Structure 1
């Protein structure tokens, strides 16, 4: 039996987060809107978490949210077996409740 874990992030789309910043491509101060896309970047010691913002002309700005420290005691990842992926045609919400 294979256990699958599904994680959903529900966001209120009516709550737009905008920040006024200088856009170097536009050459003026414009509102940047949060795209709700998050990006992680890592070097040898730190992991950075960014929120991606876009201006009206689709220029991006990465707002630094958090900085995490890496550690050496990582758990080993178990190799997955080569199996055929299963196709889920539909999920009934009543079964999940």
Structure 2
């Protein structure tokens, strides 16, 4: 990855984190409370996050990076981690 796309990726990541923090800070604790941001502003923030995500994906594809997919903690893993201590020498399967 060249210097320019690396810098762009850093800027996008920072923008995404700042927008996420604004969302966290302004979201009311109870769903019955009115949100301080207007519906138009909320939609604009969603659009910004969507554009940031799309550009980050474009940069990752261009760099040949693996797809970073979120997962649930209870989701079955494709590989299991095995402790080295559990491997006994001289045993073959």
What TM-score comes out, normalization by structure 2 length? 0.19
| Higher strand proportion | 1
Structure with the bigger RCO (C-alpha within 8 Å, sep 6+) is: 2
| Higher helix proportion | 2
Work out which of the two has the higher radius of gyration on C-alpha atoms and give 1 or 2. 2
What TM-score comes out, normalization by structure 1 length? 0.19
